[in-house]
Amino acid sequence: VATVTVATATGAKTASASWLLHFPDREPLTVTFSPPSTHAEVLDAYPAALVAAEPIESGRRHHDTPLAGDQEAAVLAWLSEIGETDETTIADVLTLCRQDEEARRYFLGRAVEISANDDRRCCSQCGNLRSGVCVVARPGGRVSAIVGYRPASPDVLQRCAGYSSTASRN
C-alpha cells in the first residue's frame, strides 16, 4: 500500500507547498500540495483522520541539493517496495528530498526501515556496477551474461549472487 500522497488543493490563499501531517494511528506523512495550500485547505483535504498539520517551513528548504547515488536508489527502492508507480509522485518525492531536509530525513528513514528487513539490492547499490557496466559479468560466472553487460534496470531490487557492497577485485 503506497503511503506517499501528493495531493492537489484549490484556494485563493497560498501557504505552503509541503506539509507534515500527524495521525493518531500511523506515522507522520509528508505531503506536497499543488498549488501551495493553507492550513484550512490541508485540513479539508484530510478531514477525519488528521490530528495536526504543520507546514514544512521554507527556511528548511534549500535549492536542489543532489541526493547521493545510494540515497536516491534507496528512496526509489522504497517507493517500488510500497507499490508506488506513479511517475509524477516519484518525481515529486525526489524533488522534495533534494529541496527539503526534513523530507529527505523522513524518506531515507523509511527506506532504511524496509531495507533492514529486505536482502534484495539494486545494481545501482552494488560495488560491481561501474559506469553502468557489471564488471563481474561473464558467461557461466556469478553473473552469467556477456562481458560488458549493462543492467537494464539498475534501480530495481533483486537478489544477485554477484552483489557486493564494495568493489570487486576481479
Q: Which residues bind ligand SF4 (CB under 6 A)?
A: 123, 126, 128-129, 134, 136-137, 143, 151, 160, 162-163
Q: How far apart are the first and last CA of the chain?
A: 41
Is 63 or 159 the residue whose CB approaches ligand SF4 more closely? 159
Q: How far is the CB of 166 from ligand SF4 (least distance, A)?
A: 11
Give the C-alpha separation, 115 to 123, whole Å.
14
- The conformational region for residue 123 under phi > 0 = left, psi -120 to 50 = alpha, else beta, is alpha
Q: How far is the CB of 93 from ligand SF4 (least distance, A)?
A: 24
Q: How far is the CB of 106 from ligand SF4 (least distance, A)?
A: 27
Handedness of CA 89, 93, 94, 95 (dihedral sign): positive
Q: How far is the CB of 67 from ligand SF4 (least distance, A)?
A: 20
Half-sphere exposure of 74 (CA within 13 A, CB side): 19
Is 72 or 102 the residue whose CB approaches ligand SF4 more closely? 72
What's the grid cell of residue 143? 553473473
What's the grid cell of residue 43? 485540513
Is 103 or 123 the residue whose CB approaches ligand SF4 more closely? 123
Is 29 or 156 the residue whose CB approaches ligand SF4 more closely? 156
